[in-house]
């Protein structure tokens, strides 16, 4: 396959709690094949299912893994349990039949895509939230401790805050707003307390809960000030996660701090981006916000190219930007 293409080929795997993208590119950055699969969050699906998902995904885009020059697997929760990480790190060897690969956290895919592998910080706000950055060969992360006690500013966090607000509105502890009717309509509630059955039944699936953040966003856009306040709070939390990474990377006083973003929460538009920018500027005027160059799916593939030591990554990114 490599000879037929007359170029080396590289595979990036951008894992996530909702979906996993497999992107095959050549050395010029051209996309040759893509495949979308389900969740690769091993805490949810288990290691056996993760192995089969990765094996099938690789086969879909490249029937002969031996032809792959390099592969990067960006997987959720990797690097967060020293007991499990070695088990995950050896999976690609069984699938590929060679050692031309690296395994990392999926936060790297967001960073490599949004900033094109350049120094700076990327904040991911999807089902969960996490920030990752690099500067002068040093890397750092913050956030991403999981939905039970962290993932501030994420879709899951926003949804939980929205559900709390619904309960307060229903009880009369908070003034009623559009969110009250929006959730009643969404679940076709006969009684407000019926919400408990819907949510407790979905409690094991963080994705279904995170998806409710879209309803909170709709209520905010419909004039619900309390729902809009949840997004303002989320933006502040995300900015503080970014700031924690910047502090670790110790940017020089005369350096700008490039920041970009990825994840569905930022598709809420000004509800998040405006308070996010304002909070960053209030903390440090060196922050420079940049629109993402590419999405995390392409970021994973570009990072595979970079890990293979290919100097043309910068020129590919410049062309894409």
Per-residue pLDDT tens over the stretch 259-270: 999 999 999 999
Per-residue pLDDT tens over the stretch 269-303: 999 999 999 999 999 999 999 999 999 999 999 99
Same domain, yes or no, for 250 and 286? yes
Helix pair 155-171, 178-187: axis angle to 10 deg: 100
Same domain, yes or no, for 103 and 125? no
Same domain, yes or no, for 215 and 247? yes
Give the strand pairing for 68-75 and 31-37: unpaired
Closest CA to 305 of 70, 93, 6, 61: 70
Q: Are 163 and 195 in contact (CB under 8 A)?
A: yes
Same domain, yes or no, for 143 and 185? yes
- Cα separation of the two ends of the chain: 29
Same domain, yes or no, for 138 and 54? no
CATH number for the domain harbouring residue 308: 3.30.420.40
Residue 204 confidence (pLDDT): 57
Q: Are 294 and 7 in contact (CB under 8 A)?
A: no
Residue 309 confidence (pLDDT): 87
Residue 315 confidence (pLDDT): 62
Same domain, yes or no, for 137 and 74? no
Same domain, yes or no, for 195 and 110? no
Alpha-carbon gap, residue 78 to 59, rounded angstroms: 22
Number of domains the chain is built from:
2
Same domain, yes or no, for 299 and 189? no
Residue 1 confidence (pLDDT): 40
Same domain, yes or no, for 138 and 105? no
Containing structural domain, residue 212: 120-292
Same domain, yes or no, for 151 and 239? yes
Same domain, yes or no, for 42 and 190? no
pLDDT along the chain (321 residues), means of 10: 60 93 95 96 94 98 96 96 97 96 97 95 95 97 94 97 98 98 97 95 78 97 98 98 98 97 94 97 97 95 92 60 51
Residue 132 confidence (pLDDT): 98
Same domain, yes or no, for 77 and 161? no
């Amino acid at each position: 396959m490599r000879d037929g293409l007359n170029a080396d080929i590289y595979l990036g795997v951008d894992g996530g709690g909702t979906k996993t993208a497999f992107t095959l590119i050549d050395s010029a950055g051209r996309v040759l094949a893509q495949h979308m699969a389900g969740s690769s969050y091993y805490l949810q699906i288990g290691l056996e299912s993760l192995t089969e998902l990765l094996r099938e995904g690789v086969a879909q885009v490249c029937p002969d893994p031996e032809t792959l020059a390099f592969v990067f697997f960006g997987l959720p929760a990797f690097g967060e349990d020293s007991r499990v990480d070695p088990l995950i790190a050896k999976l690609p060897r069984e699938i590929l039949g060679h050692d031309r690969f690296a395994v990392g956290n999926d936060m790297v895919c967001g960073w490599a895509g949004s900033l094109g592998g350049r120094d700076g910080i990327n904040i991911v706000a999807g089902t969960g939230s996490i920030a990752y950055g690099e500067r002068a060969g040093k890397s750092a992360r913050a956030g991403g401790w999981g939905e039970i006690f962290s993932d501030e500013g994420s879709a899951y966090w926003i949804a939980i805050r929205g559900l709390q607000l619904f309960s307060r509105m229903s009880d009369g502890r908070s003034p009623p707003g559009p969110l009250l009717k929006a959730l009643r309509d969404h679940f076709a509630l006969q009684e407000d307390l019926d919400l408990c059955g819907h949510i407790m039944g979905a409690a094991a699936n963080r994705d279904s809960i995170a998806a409710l953040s879209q309803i909170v966003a709709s209520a905010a856009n419909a004039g619900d000030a309390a729902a809009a306040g949840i997004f303002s709070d989320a933006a502040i939390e995300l900015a503080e996660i970014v700031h924690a990474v910047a502090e670790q990377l110790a940017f020089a006083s005369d350096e700008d701090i490039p920041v970009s973003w990825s994840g569905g929460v930022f598709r809420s538009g000004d509800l998040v981006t405006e308070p996010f920018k304002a909070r960053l500027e209030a903390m440090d005027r060196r922050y420079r916000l940049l629109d993402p160059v590419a999405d995390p799916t392409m970021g994973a593939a570009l990072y595979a190219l970079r890990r293979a030591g290919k100097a043309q990554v910068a020129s590919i990114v410049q062309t894409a930007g």
